[in-house]
Amino acid sequence: MAFAYGFSSLAQAMRPSPIRELFEVIQRPGMISFAGGLPDPAVFPITQFASCASALDREGRVALQYGASEGYRPLVDFLCDRMSRQLGQAITPAQVIIGSGSQQIMDMLGRVLLDPGDVVVTEAPTYPGALHTFRNCGARFALVPCDEKGMIVDALPEVIARCRAATGRPPKLIYSIVNFSNPSGACLGARRRPALAAVAAAHGVPVLEDDPYGELRWEGAHRESVFSHAAGGVVFASSFSKILAPGVRVAWAVGDADLIRALVVLKQGLDLCSSMVSQVLVSEYCHRGHLDEHLPRIRAHYAGKARAMATALARELPAGVANFTPPEGGFFFWLRFAGVDSQAVFERAVERGVAFLPGRAFYPTAAETVGPPGDGSACARLCFTFADPAQIDEGCRRLAAAIAAA
């Protein structure tokens, strides 16, 4: 007889990741996957990164030892300099923490800000990994509608007021992927960024500005961060997963020093420190200038794949049944169907050897939503980064056949 574990309320409330649950499907022989948001291994800087291993001869006693929970100081210093230029404010080491991937940054922020029943405001649609992480902290969700310019910030005060009316207190956090959002590929409009900072400050609600894709712009003008428009209360987070490789598991956050200190103390009890080996190697890679040398290459690489998908979708999709806006960067296309359920399309697509992620994965359930729930049943996310151009062409042909059969 199986042992009867007394699972916690957290464990009982957990739900599997919709992306991770698809791994068995996308690994089937002959399957063309537009499902997982994976970087292309073809552009991993293997030679340059491997050359940085020589740093272990110099820093081996540091790399192989426990390190500061804040992060490896040379890497923190590099990020302070880079973020000062990118965010338009002087960033000090006390404002930076290194994490073991973006997911840990989100998890730590949720743990220091959220109590069970607290509300997190998110875009609709939003990244399912964020829903998963904040759900693990006992959060509920309030949704702000989006358009081709990202979160409709003008709707945010009403959403905050709805939270106050429903719970007696404001939301604890606003979460936004401001550049090339996962899943929609949208960028928050230039005028909406200072507006978001202003609304958040007026209501006393902090913002997590999640920006893993911002360096991957190949068209359009750079847009200032929300952080750059705020006097405090905004946490900027990014990662080396998309601009170097996800296997290094190195991310960072920039925020107010008192909040970063709380994250540091929490991290002391989580994993003591992120991998020092990874941090030393990433730091060496960055200080040698390899990161800035590599970024133009990956931008050009992904731009070519995005154009291939835009061309194939425009050619193959049935007229009037699906529409999309080609992204200016990032990893994703967001399809909107007319009169077709994306789950039904997914089932037909898998039969034909192509996989994507149906839109419902990017919304919380109605039961955990404060206010109107979202509905992604007429939408789908396609990731163009992993497949090669020939696979993109064939995958879009198979997808069109699945739409016609749904």
The pLDDT tens digits of the residues spanning 203-246 come to 999 999 999 999 999 999 999 999 999 999 999 999 999 999 99
Residue 395 pLDDT level (bands cut at 50, 70, 90): very high
Flag whether 7 is in a domain.
Answer: no
Question: What length is written for the chain?
Answer: 406
Flag whether 1 is in a domain.
Answer: no
DSSP character for 23?
A: H
Flag whether 52 is in a domain.
Answer: no
Q: Report the pLDDT value the prediction gives residue 193, as an integer from 0 to 100.
A: 98
Locate tokens 């409009």: which residue?
189
* Listed residues 288, 303, 334: the one ending a domain: 288
Q: Within this chain, do residues 137 and 252 fall inside the same structural domain, yes or no? A: yes
Q: Within this chain, do residues 343 and 367 fall inside the same structural domain, yes or no? A: yes
DSSP calls for 146-185: EETTEE-GGGHHHHHHHHHHHHSS--SEEEEE-SS-TTT-
The bridge status of strand 251-254 relative to strand 173-177 is unpaired
Q: Give the mean pLDDT of the chain.
A: 95
> For 85-101, how does the pLDDT look when each residue is reduced to its tens digit (9 = 90+)?
999 999 999 999 999 99
Helix ranges (H only) for 249-289 are 257-270, 276-287
Q: Report the pLDDT value the prediction gives residue 4, as an integer from 0 to 100.
A: 86
- For residue 110, pLDDT beyond 70: yes
Domain of 314, CATH number, reads 3.90.1150.10
* Listed residues 288, 308, 328: the one ending a domain: 288
- Total domains in the chain come to 2
Flag whether 50 is in a domain.
Answer: no
Flag whether 243 is in a domain.
Answer: yes
Measured in degrees and rounded to the nearest 5, phi and psi for residue 341 equal: -85, 130
DSSP character for 377?
A: T
Q: Report the pLDDT value the prediction gives residue 44, as an integer from 0 to 100.
A: 98
Q: Within this chain, do residues 159 and 245 fall inside the same structural domain, yes or no? A: yes
Domain that holds residue 29: 15-45+293-405
Range in 10-14, 92-96, 218-222, 394-398 with the lowest mean pLDDT: 10-14
* Listed residues 288, 313, 330: the one ending a domain: 288
Q: Report the pLDDT value the prediction gives residue 163, as an integer from 0 to 100.
A: 95
Q: Within this chain, do residues 281 and 376 fall inside the same structural domain, yes or no? A: no
Cβ atoms of 325 and 185 within 8 Å: the answer is: yes
- For residue 20, pLDDT beyond 90: no
Instruction: Report d(CA 80, CA 96) in Å as an integer.
Output: 7
Q: Within this chain, do residues 35 and 97 fall inside the same structural domain, yes or no? A: no
Q: What percent of the chain has pLDDT over 90?
A: 90
The pLDDT of 36-51, averaged and rounded, is 96
Q: Within this chain, do residues 299 and 266 fall inside the same structural domain, yes or no? A: no
Sign of CA dihedral 161, 166, 168, 172: negative
Q: Report the pLDDT value the prediction gives residue 36, as an integer from 0 to 100.
A: 87
Flag whether 2 is in a domain.
Answer: no
> For 329-358, how does the pLDDT look when each residue is reduced to its tens digit (9 = 90+)?
999 999 999 989 999 999 999 999 999 999
Q: Within this chain, do residues 252 and 304 fall inside the same structural domain, yes or no? A: no
Q: Within this chain, do residues 356 and 207 fall inside the same structural domain, yes or no? A: no
Q: Within this chain, do residues 278 and 312 fall inside the same structural domain, yes or no? A: no
Q: Report the pLDDT value the prediction gives residue 14, as an integer from 0 to 100.
A: 76
> For 286-304, how does the pLDDT look when each residue is reduced to its tens digit (9 = 90+)?
999 999 999 999 999 999 9
Q: Report the pLDDT value the prediction gives residue 310, as an integer from 0 to 100.
A: 98
> What is the edge-to-edge ordering of all strands in the sheet holding 234-239?
96-99, 251-254, 234-239, 207-210, 173-177, 119-124, 140-147, 150-151
Instruction: Report d(CA 165, CA 159) in Å as an integer.
Output: 10
Flag whether 140 is in a domain.
Answer: yes
Residue 21 pLDDT level (bands cut at 50, 70, 90): low
pTM: 0.95
- 210, two tokens: 């999640």
Q: Report the pLDDT value the prediction gives residue 6, as an integer from 0 to 100.
A: 87
Flag whether 113 is in a domain.
Answer: yes
Q: Within this chain, do residues 152 and 97 fall inside the same structural domain, yes or no? A: yes
Measured in degrees and rounded to the nearest 5, phi and psi for residue 209 equal: -90, 95
Give long-range contacts, CB 8 A cutoff, 24+ apart: 256-263.
256/95, 256/232, 257/92, 257/94, 257/95, 259/112, 259/206, 259/235, 260/70, 260/94, 260/95, 260/96, 260/97, 261/94, 262/112, 263/97, 263/108, 263/109, 263/112
Q: Within this chain, do residues 150 and 282 fall inside the same structural domain, yes or no? A: yes
Cβ atoms of 331 and 385 within 8 Å: the answer is: yes
Q: Within this chain, do residues 118 and 160 fall inside the same structural domain, yes or no? A: yes
The bridge status of strand 379-383 relative to strand 357-358 is antiparallel
